[in-house]
Amino acid sequence: MTPAKTRRVLSLSTLFPNSANPRFGIFVARSLQALQQETQWDVTAINPIGLPPVIFGRYRKLAEAAQDTREFGFDVHRPSFRLLPKVGGRFNPKLIARAVLPLARRLHARTPFDLIDAQFFYPDGPAAMRIAKALGLPFTVKARGADIHHWGARSYGREALRETSRKSAGMLAVCEALKDDMTTLGLDRDKIAVHYTGIDRDLFRPLDHVGLRARVRETFGIPLDARETLLLSVGALIERKGQALAIKALADLPDARLALVGKGDREASLRALAKEIGVSDRVHFLGAVDPEMLPPLYSAASAMVLPSASEGLANAWVEALACGTPIVITDVGGARELVRGPEAGVIVAGTARAVRDGIRLVLDRPSDPAKVSASVTEFSWKANGQALAAYYDRLVA
């Protein structure tokens, strides 16, 4: 039974699923869903959608997605704001606040909120700061990794992060390592709490390996034979995720196949790389995969390989481990907070040789899926929602 609602939060997130990108920011939606279902907090979400002055290409679907809905158990509003592609980064917080504030005022007047929440540090955080000031409410903001590392490297972004930190009632980080990075940038460490991600424990669990390889062959068209090893990489096909290193490592792993789950602007170059080094017949691009189809892939794989250049705490790491599959990852973000023993996998340097050696090490010491899964037992959406509610309670007490 859902607890009675005694508190209300208005959550602002540019990172949220919509009809054009139904998997985009799904972890934000699931966290807020758990908050709504498991706690006394009542959620209203605003998902601002940026549209350029002239609607073209992929923006046509985004324009159609700018519709209010009720999803995940709460109302989701999708006002649009003026977006200047590639050059408008410094202006986005003000443009988002300008577009959202009239809506936020109406919602607050109808049923008052206790707290404003931003689910991504930039541009969402500075926008939430402006809205909270206008409504006379406290606000909090969550850091996820790329929002700190990317925008913190720019002078205007770094100053915006610092101002948001100073004026916030509190901040969240997805791991201890990101908390350290935020502190290094000059954000107030005493205000930062760590809030780990969650996963669906009923969905992401070790599956019986009997028949899994045949299922992978039939469902995804990967022609695995009895002697071959399946390696899996789950993440957007963008440069910082490091799939190129996994493909290069495959050249020295003749009995392995690599399945890439995800979409992104690096797909063409990754395909060209696989062809150039002669492994294109063993690299399989699966595109976006529904969450329900991921556990068979994780469970059939001998390792999940994601040598990212930067991360906060990747959901794919936790999902793989929950399915009993060790991970081969670089020393970024919360990597050391997950790989705490050999059963969880290895942390490697960001080179193709190191990735190859890490894969070989994992393959040479087969692990018990149940023990691997047990290494992340504390991760669940229920725990995530309850921890978020407890944090909110402290801010408005």
Q: What is the pLDDT at residue 1?
A: 73
Q: What is the pLDDT at residue 23?
A: 87
| CA separation for the pair 358, 362 (Å, rounded) | 6
Q: What is the pLDDT at residue 206?
A: 95
Nearest to 187 by CA among 208, 211, 168: 168
Residue ranges for the chain with pLDDT beneath 70: none
The residue written with tokens 């607050």 in the block is: 108
Global confidence as pTM = 0.91
Paired residues of 233 in beta bridges? 260
Domains in the chain, ordered, with CATH? 7-198+380-396 (3.40.50.2000), 212-374 (3.40.50.2000)
Q: What is the pLDDT at residue 34?
A: 97
Asked if residue 325 lies in contact with residue 301, where contact means CB atoms within 8 angstroms, the answer is yes
- Interval 303-315: pLDDT, tens: 999 999 999 999 9
- Interval 361-377: pLDDT, tens: 999 998 899 999 999 99
Paired residues of 231 in beta bridges? 258, 303
Q: What is the pLDDT at residue 226?
A: 83
